[in-house]
Structure 1
Amino acid sequence: MTTENIAPTTIDEVVPKMKVEGVVKKIELYGALVDIGVGRPGLLHISQISEGHVKNVSDVLQEGQTITAWVQEVDRKRGRISLTMLEPAALGWSEIDNGKVFTGKVVRVEKFGAFVDIGAERPGLVHVSELAQGYVGDPTDVVKVGDEVQVKVIGVNRRKKQIDMSIRALEEAAMIEAIEEDDEDMPTAMELALRQALEGSGMVMPQRQQQKKRGKKEKRHQEREDIFARTLRQHAND
């Protein structure tokens, strides 16, 4: 999310994504100098004035005009502030990594999958094979535009600005966790009988039994990792 519109008074209070109000002080061929109240003007480059092409800065801005902008970059050592009139994405590319989980909204559904907006510069793709466990013939059987879903990032290409995500990976993780909890909360009949006998005698469960339970838990953990690995391999082959 972008920083709230709290008027800074010094350059030390200026941070990237901060929303600011400023007055256009001077117009140049390359952009405009904007006073945001910190003693140093911010530079609004011509490319950051509008999403469309701007031929002349004076076609859009006038000296003395009050504008709303966002901080792009701050170089406190040199006293430089870069501004943009294009609202930045809530999530920067440096914040999106493999394995991270986000909540987003389905914004488009195609035959090959669904696009989910997680607040990044572009929506990410959940391929049809990553929508749910088992075969999915039509993505609309699983998600609709406007649905809020949780997704796990399984691939990021920052150069191409592409994000690959999965819903299935989270479902599999939840299923495995539920199985593990059931296994831990429901001991076998033999374990129950042994536990009761030991409690009655004031003894504790033998080390061998405890190691066996740990071994079972480690095996379940390995099975979970195997599922994740298969998910990634399948995605890479699609």
Structure 2
Amino acid sequence: MRSKRIMALALLSISLLSVGCGKKESAGAKDSATPSSVESGTTLAETSKEAEAAKDTLEGVVLDASMNGFTLQNKDLGLVYVETGEDAAEKPDLSKLANGFTPGEGVKLLGKMDGQNFSLSAAADQATALGDRDALYTVGQALFAVRDKNVQALAELAQYPLYLGIESGNEIDSKDELMRKYTAEQIFTEEFTNSVLHCDLLNLREAGGNLVVSVDGGKPNLIFTKTDAGYRLSAINVTK
């Protein structure tokens, strides 16, 4: 009888020991899973940061805008058209734009540059040094005229007499005279066009009532002078 009781106690001890081992193993399995979960979260965070860093940023001034896109002036790329409508690669986040894409206002874009095409992901307002939306809009119209080599469009933005710096320089008394005496080839030279289109419009500042539009503040350039009717084109310096 006594031997049976001893055997029963022995079996009970073995059973309890097996249960205890099982609990320890489960806790160990739980502990080993924790570092893996933390590591996975860290990896996801790093991946997100890397994806964000892989995007390109583009800063500049909006020159015109429509429901489907807008034209941005950027000092490195010149004039860039960015799609925002149905043809856009993705629907961009525009929540950080107070007034949407407004001509004459600065913006900072986040997206991806592919050749001359920019796929927009998000946009935010960017302050301009000039802080004059109307003036920057006027300058933007001149940049379109230069890009399109349109003498008439440029002439309509001018006040007369207009100074035309080609070689020795001349004063032009009217829009008709400018269009009659000078061709697009004479005015829109490669050097002049590149200098004007690649100006830093975002950081353009007034100096003595004038705005000097060029890549480095020198010639070739366009000069706009402040008048009672706003800024008007007062000089076209084609040569240095």
TM-score range for the pair, normalised by the shorter chain length: under 0.3
Higher relative contact order (CA 8 A, sep 6+): 2
Which of 1 and 2 has greater Rg?
2
Larger helix share, 1 or 2: 2
